[in-house]
Structure 1
């Protein structure tokens, strides 16, 4: 079995084998949670001058909530709307693989360097999306990367609508809160 640190590195390198390993390792849930926390804390530190300490705490909590929601949406879309005959997955498998797909987000800690935050966060976002596609492809046993892209895209749209509705009902501008 691969060490926690090596799992982070291999998942950030977009190694499909590590996502298969994490999917099969039921004891990796704690590690997946740790990766999501590390990634969100890194984002908080990287944007500390803009969001402050409370933003760091709220950002970490919202990242964990977002991870659960994203995995649930992905599970539903991938297993109910776009399954293939080989699709055999449960919610916890997606939580583990998607959790490790957050590993590239750890580089967001570099956002604290003056003038780098937007670039670092953009690169991390694209990198995390690529990792997410691989995680979904492996967890849902897809042969097609495009099917995984479709699941991620549908899930992202649904999540964006839910977040927008939440901010609308709460009377908060998502742009002012940094959510968009």
Structure 2
């Protein structure tokens, strides 16, 4: 448990070595999924505004978003915008993107009306940062702007899919 919490805090603090450790350690896929569940639950609690019956659907939606964003990062980064040094598999991308959802735990505080907008916006930007670092490590990119481009393109692709459904 201590190792898991150490990883979570290192990811939240945007420490690149934490992402490298997660990439190289094959064990934490279940940890990444657990962290995603916590983040999804926190997002649901903060966003449903007291409508308890909406929480399960909000959790499922957040989990589906993780799968979609991870798949898009993989397809864009590992297949379309592949660099010669890129060596990655889908599980590695999903594991790193799952850990990158860690700041989403703070979205549970979004139920507070006075700060909900700030919390949702701030954590969304934070998750963009953690996901960009996750993308950079997962795809072995040396360039942060390239990782940011893939992350943003995947996010835009996810938004497009979301509005098509």
Give the structure-1-normalised TM-score. Answer: 0.87
Q: Find the aligned partners of 1:19 and 1:54 in 2 and give their Cα distance.
A: 35
Match of 1:176 in 2: none
Matched, 1:125 2:124: yes
Q: Find the aligned partners of 1:135 and 1:91 in 2 and give their Cα distance.
A: 13
Structure 2 segments unaligned to the other structure (5+ residues): none
What does the per-residue CA deviation read over 1:27-86, in whole Å, with 9 as the maximum and x for residues that have no partner? 111100011111111112222425x11322111111111111111111010011111111
Match of 2:19 in 1: 19
Equivalent positions of 1:28-67 (< 5 A) are 28-49=28-49, 52-67=51-66
Count of residue correspondences: 165
Secondary structure of the structure 2 residue equivalent to 1:78 = helix
Further displaced range: 125-134 or 113-122: 113-122
Q: Could you tell me how far 1:157 is from its partner in structure 2?
A: 1.6
Equivalent positions of 1:101-180 (< 5 A) are 101-166=100-165
Runs of 4 or more above 3 Å deviation: none
Q: Find the aligned partners of 1:17 and 1:79 in 2 and give their Cα distance.
A: 21
Match of 1:171 in 2: none
Match of 1:96 in 2: 95
Aligned-residue RMSD, C-alpha: 1.5
Q: Find the aligned partners of 2:59 and 2:82 in 1 and give their Cα distance.
A: 32
Structure whose alpha-carbon radius of gyration is higher: 1
